[in-house]
Amino acid sequence: MKSSTRDQIRGKFHELKGKVKAKAGQVTNDPNLKAEGLVEHRAGKVQKKLGPLNRCSRSKWTGLAQYAFPLGAEAETRRTSRQLAVNAARREGGTAMISRTLISAFCVGLASLPAVAAPPAATLSAFERYAAVVEGRIRSDYSTTKFLRILPDESKWARVHKGEALVESAQALGLKPDIAIPDGQVQHWVAAAFLPNATLDAVLPRLRNYNNRSRYMKPEIIASRLKDHHGDVFEVYLRLVEKSIVSGVFDLDLQVVYRTERHGRLAINSRSTSVVEVSDALAPVGSAARDQGLLWALNHYWRILQMDGGLYIECEALVLSRPTPFMLGWIARPIIARAARESLIKTVHATILIMNSPDASASAESRSRDVQRVGDMTLSEVCQSASVP
């Protein structure tokens, strides 16, 4: 195949890939991804035009590139073009939905991946090292001013205190360990919220009532029970339903440890000790089905600070899953990240609902209404939905 033909084919590929990337940036509300797509789309068009001119001198190639990117210097051109595209994406608001065909192809691609018998031992070992680094950092933060990681920023503190829930990636916060996960990937996010008119003494019994957990965390958690309890260590079973991208049902065994280092500070470490994917919501407990690799481990690290007439709450989440296939990675990564982010927000909202749960005399009907509402409620509505005595 002639080099000019190869350039034309590659140009068409990058042109199409850039177009799809830009649409993915719109649906995920990611201006950087959209900008990257627009730049790649433009570069692909240039490469396609350069194909027939393959025999031209290097200077002519450069001249045509400068014609396509008028600023000339390649690095400066990429930077400027990217910034212009980012600004354009922000002006448009990134609200347009990605095409149904693209979403369908993406979901079919994930669902058709070959089943795996179990997560590879090397993957689990690397995740354990990753989690150990996170837990070591959290332990060192217990008695310091870094007990909360999002909220030391005064502007974020004010936003959370007013009722806003914040979520940031661990990488953006500088908390992501530099540990590779072979044959796997970790979603690592931190969320912060504020529960007014609450105390640790009031919410602690409700948090520890694991037999009642599924009432307030449906439809994600459809069954829950306390398996064992020794002091501040709780062994818990949950049945989790995942519907964000590709559906899956999982039986989780968790070890939950409560720790109080100083007055007004509570840390809760929840680590999965077993994750089994089952066929459906009615399957017998632990009856393993086809493992799609959607969830191999799930750890939540909660930090709660009693201050300003309420409770500041932070939750750091680690989610281990199989890696995204290379051909789907460029579109899958932002979609998976957004799903993990939204899942953490739902978890925080549901936990606040648990902290605000009515007493034993409340009717099952009112509890059912609470459960149905939690998925669509804002943080302020969750906080106001019930009062803490």
The length of the chain, given as a count of residues: 389
The C-alpha atoms of residue 226 and residue 384 are separated, in whole angstroms, by 28
What is the arithmetic mean of pLDDT over 253-281?
92
* pLDDT confidence tier of residue 330, bands split at 50, 70 and 90: low
Q: Give the tens place of pLDDT for each residue, 12-33.
A: 777 777 777 777 666 555 666 6
pLDDT at 246 exceeding the cut of 70: no
**pLDDT value at 131 more than 60:** yes
CA distance 313 to 305: 7
Question: Which uninterrupted H or E stretch holds 71?
Answer: none
- Asked if the model's pLDDT at residue 125 lies above 50, the reply is yes
Percentage above 90 pLDDT, the chain: 40
Least confident of 57-66, 152-161, 241-250, 336-345: 57-66
Contact 105, 20 (CB under 8 A): no
State the pLDDT at residue 212: 87
**What pLDDT shows up at residue 361?**
32
pTM, two decimal places: 0.66
Residue 308, number of CB atoms within 10 A of its CB: 11
Residue 155 confidence (pLDDT): 87
Amino acid code (one letter) for 270: S
Q: What is the pLDDT of residue 386?
A: 36
Q: What is the pLDDT of residues 40-88, one digit of tens each?
A: 666 666 556 655 544 444 443 333 333 333 343 344 444 444 454 445 4
pLDDT at residue number 294: 86
pLDDT at 31: 61
The tens digit of pLDDT for each residue in 292-318 reads 888 999 999 999 999 999 999 999 999
Q: How confident is the model at residue 230 (pLDDT cuts 50, 70, 90)?
A: very high
DSSP code string of 319-380: EEEPPPPHHHHHHHHHHHHHHHHHHHHHHHHHHHHHHT---TTS-HHHHHHHHHHHTT--HH
What's the whole-number average pLDDT of the chain? Answer: 75
- Average pLDDT of the residues in 166-182: 93
Residue 105 or residue 153, greater confidence: 153
pLDDT in tens, 182-215: 999 999 999 999 999 999 999 999 999 999 888 8
Q: Does residue 25 contact residue 37 with C-beta atoms inside 8 Å?
A: yes
pLDDT band at 245 (very low <50, low <70, confident <90, very high): low
pLDDT of 384 > 50? The answer is no
Question: Residue range 98-116: average pLDDT?
Answer: 49
Q: Is 326 exposed, middle or buried (0-12, 13-18, 19+ CB in 10 A)?
A: exposed
Query: What is the band of 290 on the pLDDT scale with cuts at 50, 70, 90?
Result: confident
Q: How far apart are CA 97 and CA 339, in angstroms?
A: 15
- Residue 62 is classified by DSSP as H
Determine the pLDDT at residue 151: 75
Q: Which amino acid is at 315?
A: C
CA angle 350/29/181 to nearest 5° reads 70
Structure confidence at residue 83 (pLDDT) = 53
Strands of the chain (E only): list them. Answer: 166-169, 185-196, 221-230, 233-242, 248-259, 265-278, 297-307, 310-321
Q: What are phi and psi of 12, to 5 degrees?
A: -65, -40
pLDDT at 135 exceeding the cut of 90: yes
Cα dihedral 118, 123, 124, 130 sign: negative
Provide the pLDDT for residue 257: 97
CA–CA separation, 372 and 348 (whole Å): 16
pLDDT on residue 368 = 39
Distance (Å, rounded) from C-alpha 168 to C-alpha 189? 6
Q: What is the pLDDT of residues 337-360, one digit of tens each?
A: 888 888 899 999 999 999 988 753
- Which residues neighbour 169 within 8 Å (Cβ) at sequence distance 6 or greater? 176, 188, 189, 190, 337
pLDDT score of 8: 67
Banded model confidence at residue 385, pLDDT cuts 50, 70, 90: very low
205: preceding bond cis by omega (within 30 degrees): no
